[in-house]
Amino acid sequence: MSNTLANAESDHSMNLRLLASVVLVPCAAALLLAACTRFGNASSNGTLMKPSVTYLRLLRHTPFFTALDDEQLRWTIGHSHEWEAQAGATVATCSAEAKGSGDPYWILLDGHWQLEENGRNHASGHADSGKWFSASAVRGDCRLVTTEHSYIMKIERKDMDAMLARGFAFATHLRVGQAYYDQLFQQPLIGKPKAAAGP
């Protein structure tokens, strides 16, 4: 009798483990896929880009964000994704055929990257005019690539629009950056990124 009970418990335990593997493995795979999708094309870089933590004390001293107060910095951290990127990571690409108005913004927090277009390379650091990038801000085919170990932030278009609506002082950075990209591509872009009035 005891052997029969033990065998039954063993079979039940095996069935539970089998059920767990059937249910949990697909769920884990789905969660992983969702995470990769959420972080966009950065996942295609393999080990060249990985999620990183944004610290308020460091963000406060990053040129793109120095005009923000602590509350605005916290809001930014809550509505963005930071990435640690090795040299040679493709951050973003743009195509003359695939132009969209919902392209995210990428901001260089630390390090260097370069915009590659028409056989030319345009390098930028985190304090230069090209410290932010969005495929919507340029024309033609291009690729944004890190040239050294860097930290970058991705802000979705809707979140950037919300920040500008809240009065975040990005207007000067966006104007200067857009003028820089217009010069590189030799013609102003109709429908430029929004920039709030003021500094």
Instruction: Give the C-alpha separation, 140 to 143, whole Å.
Output: 10
pTM value is 0.72
pLDDT tens string 45-79: 667 999 999 999 999 999 999 999 999 999 999 99
Best CA proximity match to 64, nearest among 156, 165, 155:
155
Q: What angle do CA 41, 45, 46 make, to 5 degrees?
A: 120
Q: What angle do CA 106, 31, 154 make, to 5 degrees?
A: 5
Contact 157, 183 (CB under 8 A): no
pLDDT tens string 129-160: 999 999 999 988 999 999 999 999 999 999 99
pLDDT tens string 79-132: 999 999 999 999 999 987 766 668 999 999 999 999 999 899 999 999 999 999
Written as one letter, the residue type at 128 is D
